Structure 1
Amino acid sequence: MSDKLKVLLIRGMLYYDGVTSVEYEWIKTLHDRVDYDYVLLDPDKSVPEKEAAVEAFGVHVYPLRYSGRNSFESHRNRVAVVDQFLKKHHYDVVHIDTDLPSRYDMAKVARENGVKRVIVHSHNAMQHLHGIQKLPGFVTYERKQIARYATDLAACSKEAAAWLFNPKDQGRVQIIHNGINRDRYVFAEEKRQATREELGLTADQLLLGNIGRLADQKNQLFLVDIFNELVKSKPQAHLLLIGNGEREADLRAKIKDLGLEEKVTMILSTDKIPDYLFAMDAFVMPSLYEGLPVTLLEAQTTGLPCVISDVISSEMDFEGLIFREDLQAEPAAWAKLIAQVASQASGQDRRQYASQLTKLGYDKQESAEQVYQMYLGK
């Protein structure tokens, strides 16, 4: 009989996002001590290759579907399907990765089914937008329920903790940094050259990049406005967008309307993220909110200068690589800063920055060990 811990991860979907990448590193690093399974609550949006990647480590992925005529009925049906599942399967730990206060219902049903350790783990910081979507009092109630039913509270950053948990519960929160595999992101000049050739770029063309779900949160429509300003002074510049999502059609339409079709490349999915980061000259992230974005961590590890919005956490800044701009600033101001940053960074040794990852505590091994100790209740 296996003496491994049995852990259930509850997510909406497995996707080309930072949380999926972080969970994959936990699974890979801890597979000799933990048997993981997944319950997916929005499985039809899941990416098959991401499911296949975790299944290769023996992980069972269970798609659970529910619906309702309104939010109350959906909530009730979601609880019912997970309740039925937990009555058939035993777990030592239920680990709920979320940015939604309403996911307290998953912690509640887990405790009611006798799961001794139930973790609610915050991976985003949405306070800049939320509050217009729900009455503040109701969000406070949901956060209170999280604290009531979860045995452990965790977050990837202080901002993510402040979003999902009430102020009086902050002392319970364990900050666990999103760790990545450093070796994959050590800059390689030969891969940079090969990838730029694949993209049809010359050695002196400025390449900007953004990686993330094509969604309002990531603000890529504004990024296209920024790029449109930049090409006025840098006509040979190119923009690379990696990711897919609900704003894809809007982005394609805007790119066409601005006459930028030959200057923007969109890649909807790829497993070659490090190679594309090597090829870039600057990483641009004008997000409306973030918790602790893994793609920004990956970009810095490759030595990329990063121009980001002023709402993004400073907990993971590498020295000399982060440049913030006011989210309310005009596209022209962003474009000017990007041009300055890219010019100053030209010719720097990008390999030197990977060592900062470990110093700041974002190496995958350290993060996975923190997660395992939390599973043990230590």
Structure 2
Amino acid sequence: MSRISNLFPPGSFSSPGAKWRQEDRVSWMGQNEIEEKMIEGGSVIRVLHVLGNLGRGGAETWFVHILQNINRDLFKIDVMVNTRHIGVYEQEVRRLGSRILVNESPSNPMRYSTNFLRIVRAEGPYCVLHAHLQLFTGLVMRLGYHAGIPIRIAHARNSSDGIRLTPQRVLYRALMRRWVGKYATRRLAVSRKAAEGAFGSRYGSPESCEIMSSGVDLGLFMEDVDQRDVRAKIGIRNGCRVVGHVGSFTPQKNHEFLLAVASCMMEEDEDLVFLMIGDGPLREKTVARVKDKGLESRFIILRDVHDVPRLMLGAMDLLVLPSLFEGLPRVLMEAQAAGLPCLASSVITSEARIVPGSVEFMPLEAGPRAWAEEAMQLLRQGKRGLDRVKVMAVMEKKGFTIAANRARLEQIYLQDMMTGAGISPE
């Protein structure tokens, strides 16, 4: 902190007890100039992100894209995960110079806490703690405070954790939200639904929580692809219409409902193929259910693929997302960038619709048959009216890009360090 403070005039740092302000701005020196001076002076801002793993989920993909784009000369970023089965992004994260720290005991809070404090003492000190663990983030914020990390950011990713609310769970949720309110120096969320779902109405309000959408790397969607070539490589014959789904094989993504929709659609169109991309604990069960229905020749199920944008551009004609809950599904943003019409459950926030007509929202209560009819109608309409250039221009304007997220995140890290935005718990 001392090296950083030397760059700024006296009084630049507010008192340790200062409340978080959503829009602190440094007017007397530009951000780029600040970063250059800090790098010249040998300063670095060390950041610790906390994620469940490094699989190909929305938060994990966002983190890797941030890591690829952020100023790594100034921001030295490590990541803590709660499993030794780190995930497909492990090699890329290490290649980018980040250390991966394993804390395996989230189900045992006492052990997790002891390990967290030990790891931070051994690998720190850190200037910023940035956690993405839904309710469990509350404990991480508290630990960060006791570890002496001055900037502590709670980042809400989902509108729910999908766990049934028992009396014990209600108490746990209340405690975690209280700790987020007490120990987080800043709160971020991908949508207002995610903010209120994770932090509650008080700490998830517009006055207390900033919305930072899960931005997309638009450069990945500017490629011109050969549809025949893309489809041939994954075994889809020419002339088929392809319905896509991208997501982890977990209860949240509602694969059983998706299979019921697929069965109804395939009764009507014998050339229809479903392309499902993802991995997770319910994958094998889903594959077995497809076989039970006698539909294995009509399904292509890919595990972990690195080229989802290319498959959206070249293989899919429609994306269907019947999730039980979401924050702001990154895959829905990516599909729109690829020019795909989308059918999604109405539990998803309307913030996910980039331009009018790009996403149709439908209640799950309508049932698989009604969903199938709507999906067939969207397929018949094709991609007419979806101008990819227009969609991406709107995404740029609204800040739904990884470039906008990276710029805002650098600004947050810098201004919070400069203003001493850490708070003392009430």
Equivalent residue, structure 2, for 1:26: 66
Aligned equivalents of 2:165, 2:409: Cα separation in 1: 30
Give yes or no for the alignment of 1:53 onto 2:92.
yes
Further displaced range: 22-31 or 329-338: 22-31
Amino acid in the other structure paired with 1:297: M
Distance 1:281 1:341, change over 3 A: same
- Name the structure, 1 or 2, with higher relative contact order (CA <8 Å, separation 6+): 2
Equivalent residue, structure 1, for 2:57: 17
Deviation at 1:164, TM superposition (A): 1.1
Contact 1:187–1:350, Cα closer than 8 Å, also in 2: no
- Residue pairs, 1:1-378, within 5 angstroms: 2-30=42-70, 31-44=72-85, 46-47=86-87, 49-66=88-105, 71=107, 74-88=108-122, 89-99=124-134, 101-126=135-160, 130-132=164-166, 134-169=168-203, 170=205, 171-186=207-222, 188-190=224-226, 192-278=227-313, 279-319=315-355, 320-346=357-383, 351-352=388-389, 353-378=391-416
Deviation at 1:182, TM superposition (A): 0.3
For residue 210 of structure 1, give the secondary structure of its aligned residue in structure 2.
strand
Contact 2:329–2:352, Cα closer than 8 Å, also in 1: no
Contact 1:310–1:327, Cα closer than 8 Å, also in 2: yes
Contact 1:176–1:371, Cα closer than 8 Å, also in 2: no
Contact 2:162–2:252, Cα closer than 8 Å, also in 1: no
Contact 2:312–2:338, Cα closer than 8 Å, also in 1: yes
Amino acid in the other structure paired with 1:52: Q
Amino acid in the other structure paired with 1:178: S
Deviation at 1:141, TM superposition (A): 2.3
Aligned equivalents of 1:53, 1:34: Cα separation in 2: 17
Aligned equivalents of 1:158, 1:43: Cα separation in 2: 33
Deviation at 1:98, TM superposition (A): 1.8
Amino acid in the other structure paired with 2:83: D
Deviation at 1:133, TM superposition (A): 7.8
Contact 2:340–2:386, Cα closer than 8 Å, also in 1: no
Further displaced range: 360-369 or 129-138: 129-138
Contact 2:339–2:383, Cα closer than 8 Å, also in 1: no
Unaligned 5+ segments in structure 1 are none
Aligned equivalents of 2:142, 2:292: Cα separation in 1: 49
Superposed CA RMSD in Å reads 1.9
1:187-222 CA-partner distances (Å, limit 9, x unpaired): 6242x2211122333443110001110010011121
Contact 1:300–1:321, Cα closer than 8 Å, also in 2: yes
Further displaced range: 333-342 or 139-148: 139-148
Distance 1:199 1:66, change over 3 A: closer
Contact 1:186–1:354, Cα closer than 8 Å, also in 2: no
1:253-308 CA-partner distances (Å, limit 9, x unpaired): 11011100000011001101111101100000000000111111111100000000
Contact 2:341–2:383, Cα closer than 8 Å, also in 1: no
Aligned equivalents of 2:397, 2:125: Cα separation in 1: 38
For residue 289 of structure 2, give the secondary structure of its aligned residue in structure 1.
helix
TM-score after normalising by structure 2:
0.83
Contact 1:12–1:43, Cα closer than 8 Å, also in 2: no
Amino acid in the other structure paired with 2:57: D
Aligned equivalents of 1:318, 1:11: Cα separation in 2: 27
Residues paired across the two proteins, number: 369
TM-score after normalising by structure 1:
0.93
Aligned equivalents of 2:167, 2:270: Cα separation in 1: 41
Amino acid in the other structure paired with 2:252: Q
Distance 1:112 1:252, change over 3 A: same
For residue 352 of structure 2, give the secondary structure of its aligned residue in structure 1.
coil
Distance 1:4 1:193, change over 3 A: farther
Aligned equivalents of 2:103, 2:341: Cα separation in 1: 41
Deviation at 1:64, TM superposition (A): 2.3
Aligned equivalents of 1:21, 1:62: Cα separation in 2: 18
Deviation at 1:129, TM superposition (A): 5.9
Contact 2:250–2:280, Cα closer than 8 Å, also in 1: yes
Aligned equivalents of 2:237, 2:67: Cα separation in 1: 40
Amino acid in the other structure paired with 1:163: G
Amino acid in the other structure paired with 1:351: R
Aligned equivalents of 1:157, 1:346: Cα separation in 2: 27
Aligned equivalents of 1:121, 1:149: Cα separation in 2: 13
Distance 1:269 1:128, change over 3 A: closer
Distance 1:12 1:127, change over 3 A: closer
